[in-house]
Each structure stands twice: as structure tokens, then as C-alpha cells.
Structure 1
Amino acid sequence: MSGANDMSDRGPARPGAGASAPAGPVQPCQWPAREAGGETPETPAVIRELRERFPDLALMEQPTADGIPTAWLPAERALEVLGYLGREAPQPFAMLYDLGGVDERERLHREGLPEAAFSVFYHLVSYGRNADLRLKVALPADGPRVDSVAGVWPAADWYERELWEMFGVDVAGHDRLRRLITPPWWEGHPLRKEHPSRGTEYGPFELPDQLVDEMQEHLRFKPEEWGLPRPEDDPTLMYLNIGPQHGATHGPFRVVVGLRDEEIVHLVPDIGYHHRGSEKLAERQSWHTYLPYTDRVDYLGGVTNNLPYVLTVEKLCGIEVPDRAQLIRVLLCECFRIASHLVFYGTYAQDIGALSPVFYMFRDREILLDEVIEPITGGRMHPNWFRIGGVAEDLPRGWRQRVLDFCDYLPPRLDEYERLLMENSVVRARMVDV
């Protein structure tokens, strides 16, 4: 529901479709970035701090729709500035919230932005300041390169591997720059614009015996490639491969553990077996037609996957969502949160040896899906029900009683499940003081 709080206002599309932005094409935001050194009374304190700490730094502030202080800086100074922010600054930005790249070569609107074939962004968080900061660097088409910040934030390790893997941006100083999500034999960098986005854009797929042998050889674990000792050099050490298909992983996931007796002394995770390439899929969709893909980011989350996407688009476009639609969104997100947590709790109990809870909790989840979620959205696990600007339609007749009935039904059972697990001697032996 969108466009107005009037329940009869269903927007301009099919009955029940979510309302859109005002008529006419959405005009791109054309904010001129401030020149290096140029400040206004609205300049964020952290930008002023950087200019005082680095007076010769060419720092270009960029206003944004999300309100996060954002600035561009030269790539050759990035490590110096980021090191200061992460370690030396008062109330430092101790958390690297995100690090990624953007292929800028097909950008249509560059007003006020530096020329760049690629860009790398660093999203930082300071708990002491309760503040976010985004820094960006512009890179050329030939030989794009940045310095590793894993020495400042160890979490940058995987982000930088993904940056090289997806965009071909070299990361100087990274000691294991190898593929993280795609297999070792993958060719190209998938998030570059020239990389195919559909399987039909490739030639016919062939799998000769030689390639099969190469694929199998790539899966052979070689400890020396990870800086780990070899069993030949340490007879007390054994490496055990778990996955990628294993009942305990709840999905395709591989991990190699180094064991000494019964103690795990080394662990190397191998992810990517279930990677969907959501960003690449989005490149060939419109803002609206990408919504069904968000349903499947977490296949137990339902509309909770729709929510961050539509909130982002609405913020970028300046769309205000009616109060009623916001309340409906919260109601449905809470329903899916309960459904997802029931699966988590039940399967966790199963993993540690308790079989009854998983059957009880899947039963409760089925009741929630059948009696509340499906009558409201028309779907169960993947309803694709939120819309940019609101939701697909208003709540149906009888929704209130269905929700209240479930609210009466579940709490006594949750108390039973808590006793079933938390007071179980086997469960406590496997969880307490471990």
C-alpha cells in the first residue's frame, strides 16, 4: 500500500500493486562535490579533523543521500589516512564495516566527481563517536591498485580478496590474493561491466576429462599455500576435509581443519559454493524487477530481505512511505523473523543430538506460514510482497484475528522448548563451559 493512507488508494499499477515515485523519470542527484579544502558550516567534524591532521591532503567531500560523511582522497595517501583513522585518531574508527569496488566506466552522471575507471570505498564505524565515515579512491583503467589495509583491520583480508577477484583491482601488500567466491579455474572478473551476466552469453559448456582432473586437483588442500605446516613435517598433525556436501554444514560449505589429537589447531574455510552473484543479476534488472531476487538472499527470511532493498531505493529517490504501509512491513517482518528463528532453534537442537525440538518447531512454523503469512501475502517462503513505496496490497479481512490467535498459540510452546533444551543434561554438557 502506498501513495496515501487511504485504503482505497492502490497506486497506479494493477490492483494492489505498490505505489511508485511521482510521475515522470526520476532525476539523478547532481550534487557538486566540494573542492579540496573547501568547507561550509555543514562540513562534518571528521572531515575537518582530517584536513587539520593532513593539511596537504587533497580531500574532496561528496554529499550523499544517506547522510554518511563521504570524501574522495588520492589512492597513494589512502593507507596513511586510513591507518590514522583506525588506530591513532581520538575515538578511532575501529570497525571496517565494508570495503568494495565499483566499475565506474559506464557512469552517466559524473558531475562534481573525480574521473575514475574504478573506485574503491571504505565504510568505517566508530563506536566511541557513534559515527560512520565513507572514504573513496579513484583508480585508472590500466593497472588499478590500492594498498592493503588488513594491517589496520584484519577483517579487510577477505574484502580485499573479493575486490581483486570481482574487479581485478590489485591489492599491494596482501599475502594471499587468491579467489574467494569463484573457483580457482574461473576466468575474468565478474563485476566488471564487460563480463557476461547471462549463461547464454558464453559458448556451449564442455567438461572434458582433462578439465575434470584439473578441477579435482584444485580441491587438493596444500597447507604450504596457507602458511601452515605439512603433516610430513609434523607427525602429530592431521588435516581433515569437511564438505562441501556435509550434513552438519546446512548447505554447500567446505572447511579444512588441522587436528592435533582431538584439538582443532588450524582451520581454513572455503566458501562460494552457494554464491548467487546477486550484484551481477541486478545489473540486467530494473529497480522494480530486482525485488524477487531479494527474497532469496536468505531463503528463510522472506520479506525481511525485501525491506533493506526497498528502504535503500526509497532513500535514494526521496520517497516517503505511508505510516500504514510501514506498520504492515513491520508486522510481516516480525512474522518471518519468528519463522526463521524457529528453524534456527530446531536445527541447532538437531545438530547437538536432540531430535524432538526440530519437529515441534517446524510444525509451529508451518502454522505461521499457513495461517498468517500466506493469507496476507499469497505466498509462503518467497512472497515478493514489498514494493518500492509501500507493499503489494492492503491487509485482508480477518488478518487481525489470525495474528492474535498465533500470538496466543506460540508463547506456551516456547516455554516448553526452553525447558526441553536448556534443562537437558546432554545439551548442557555440550554447551556449558566449552
Structure 2
Amino acid sequence: MTPKGDEKPSQTPHPTATLDERVTGALVGAAVGDALGGPVEGYSPDQILQRHGGRVHGIVGPWNGDAWRTARPIAPYHKGDGHITDDTLMTHALVRVYARVRDHLDAYAVADHLVPDLMTNPRWIPELEAEALPLHRIFLAEKWLVTRLHYGHADPREAGVGNIVNCGAAMYMAPVGLVNAANPAGAYTEALDVAGAHQSSYGREAAGVFAAAVAAACAPDATPDSVVTACLGLAKDGTRTAIERVCEVAARHRDFESALTPIREAVAPYDTVGPDYRAPSLGARRPSRLHAIEELPVALGMVVVCGGDYRGAVLGAVNYGRDCDSIATMAGAVCGALGSPVPERWSKQVAEASRLDLWEPARTLAEVTREIFERDVRGRRTHEQLFTALGGTACSA
């Protein structure tokens, strides 16, 4: 366990943070949250407390120590010691698609670019401690992309139908929010299209709402409350209700320790997995208009509890347990986009341990985001001129 002395509050959201700083904060913040949550994924707060002799306050080793290669149910993955997981592998893969397409994405871009990237380009996989195809690491719900799009020749916009409904698409949608910085509605719409190749029902909805949260967090005057308000203005069905209930509870707390149980109780009616994360209920991960993935409401709840402070929100997500690598990925992305700095010690440790340049994808995405924005502006101006010529309205200066 990292000494508590290392846990100093980081700065709260920074209204003057630039686009580059917010893109970097979101992507690096997501990766660091992912790495911190990996070694305690699937366990309860009480189990984490017992295993680590207290709460997790930083980067820790594998749950089963040196037996990680064979210990079930994690084997053969080296979760811990600063290793990122599939959340970050997929996020960086999506950034590479943006770098290739250099425009807004849709489900066809997933079929044409993301799937081939997963299937044909070996990369260093930290959890395997080897170079391998990303396809060999991603979970079955992500392998669905390859099965349906490459082998099944499914319509990309409908390929997600039939997959288990989980956070698999939502966990890597931060780049969509960043490309649509300060435009939550645009991020929501684009992410729903992208995620249609991967997920359906509330899994697809969560992808749209998470992208919207990241986009809303990029606004210069953004706060945790404004992010949640933007999400509630777009979210539908059980996803909206779950976010509303969790954030209502979160607003009553100022530290993650006191919020752990109340937040779980608030999200439980909407979560289909059930109380035992490793033994899901028979109704788990099936399409529904009444339910939501657990990860996104909890992540937003931790952002609210900690006032947008990166360190507090991510540690709250990590110590919540269950699917905490994805929860911490989402909380880290939102706080990073708000301008709360990622602890430098953590980011350096994760980059070194994972053998990844965590900053290069951010530089690439910021550059592409500006290109896309300029193209969007030209398109809007052309539309204004054409609409005005139709007698619809006069262009204002």
C-alpha cells in the first residue's frame, strides 16, 4: 500500500486550462486511473481494505503477488504495478483511428479502422508482459467487434446488438468527448454512432453520456455540477435515473470513504450484475430500458464527492472495487478534462511500468481536434450562407 503521506489533495478544476491541457489531463488521467484500479478490480471495498491493510492510496502490486501468472480468476494477466489494462488499450486505439481519419467518426470507421488495428498490429501489452495483437488481450465483449464486423460482415451501425450489455464501449469513449470539447450534445451523438458497432441498449447509451461528460468538462467554466447537468440533459431511461440518484447521494458527502456504501446502494437498483460481481445474476447484462451500467454513475458520483479533484475521485473509484479500473478510467478522464492535474508521480510510474508514452496520444488528438473544429466551422458557415439565401434568416456578424 502506498503510504498515506503520498496522498495530498491535488488542485480542483482549473477554469483557465487550455484545450491541450484538458486533452492531456483527460487521456493521461484515464490511463492512470485504469492502472490504479486494475489490481483490485472485481473485489469489494471490505476485501480491498483487508488485502491492503487499509485503503489503496496509489499504485499497488497484483492481488495474488508473484502468483499472478496462474492465480484464478485473473491469470494470465499481470494486473498491478502500474500496468494499464484494456480500457487504455482501446482508448489509444480509438485515438489512432481519429489520427487516421482526421474527422468525426461513425460505426463504419470502427469497422474500417479500429477492427483492423486490433487484429493486425502487434503492440506491447503490459498485462501480458509481451508484444501481442491487442485482440489477444481484449475481453470477449470487445472481441465481439471482430467477430461481428470482420467475420460476420454485420452492418456496422447494428453490430452491437446481441453483445452483452456492459461498459465495454463506454470505457474508451473519452476521445469522442475531447474531439467535441465543450459540445456535449455533439459528443453524445457521435459516441452513440461509434458505439453502435460494439454495444446496444444502456451500454451504448452510457458510451454517449460518458463522451458528453468529458466534452462538458472541457468547457472553461465547467464544474462537477455542470458536467452532471449536461449528462442529465442528454441521458435516457435507466441511465439518466441512475446518474441522478447516485449524484444526489454523492452531493451529501465530501470524502470517498463515507460515500462508498451509499453510492453502491444508490446504483444497485439499476445495476443488473448484482451484489456478487464475480457471480452475475441471471438477468445480468441484458438489454433493458430500466437499467444502467454501474461504472458511469459511480464515476460521476465520485467526481461530485471530491469536487472534481483528480486524486480524490480516482482513489474513491479504485477503493469502490467491482469494475473499478473502468470506473477510475471514467472518473480520471472527467477530472482531467476539468483541469485537475494528474499526480506527476503516478503518471510517470504508469508510463514506465506500461512502456507507453501516455502524452503522445494527447498531442495527436489535440491536433486532430483543431483540424476537425476548423472543418466544422467552415461547414456551419456554408450552411448559414445557404440557409440565408433561402430566406430563412439573415446572417449576423
Same-fold call, TM cutoff 0.5: no
TM-score by length of 2: 0.26
Point out the structure with the larger strand share: 1
TM-score by length of 1: 0.24
**Structure with more relative contact order (C-alpha pairs < 8 Å, separation 6 or more):** 2
Point out the structure with the larger helix share: 2
- The structure having more radius of gyration, on CA atoms, is 1
